[in-house]
Amino acid sequence: MHRTKPSHSTKEASGTSSSTAPNTLDLRGTYCPMAFVKARIFLDAQTNSAVVDILYEDTPANDSLARSIKSLGHTIVESSTYSNDVPKNTDVPLTAQHSCIDTLQLIAITVQVKK
């Protein structure tokens, strides 16, 4: 499914909420394996059967992120790709992976936590 604009509030990977939704993890600017480490810590802190959203950049480094989350026993309820009209997060430092593009391709997955 392609959406044009994410409607997610964000939760910093450090655990501090930058908006109102404590059930959303924003991993923009973070790449596997660190993206997986942060996702695992976030999911481990959730209650059983909680439904959470994880937003991350669609890069080759992050290709295995959803599969790795599933391997922990969690269920991917939904996966959405945001098309190229999503502006870059200017708070995230540019890296070699996306410094030459004007927009980012993002993936949002909804995960049901299983413990």
- The number of domains in the chain is 1
Q: Considering the domain boundaries, does residue 16 fall inside one?
A: no
Q: Considering the domain boundaries, does residue 14 fall inside one?
A: no
Cα(41)–Cα(32) distance, integer angstroms = 14
pLDDT of residue 2: 45
Q: Domain containing 50 — which CATH number?
A: 3.30.110
Q: Considering the domain boundaries, does residue 80 fall inside one?
A: yes
Q: What is the pLDDT of residues 87-101, one digit of tens each?
A: 444 455 555 555 555
Q: Considering the domain boundaries, does residue 15 fall inside one?
A: no
- 21 alpha carbon, distance to own chain's centre: 14
Sheet strand arrangement including 51-57:
2-3, 75-82, 106-112, 51-57, 24-26
Q: What is the pLDDT of residues 60-79, one digit of tens each?
A: 999 999 999 999 999 999 99
Question: What average pLDDT score do residues 5-12 get?
Answer: 44
pLDDT of residue 80: 94
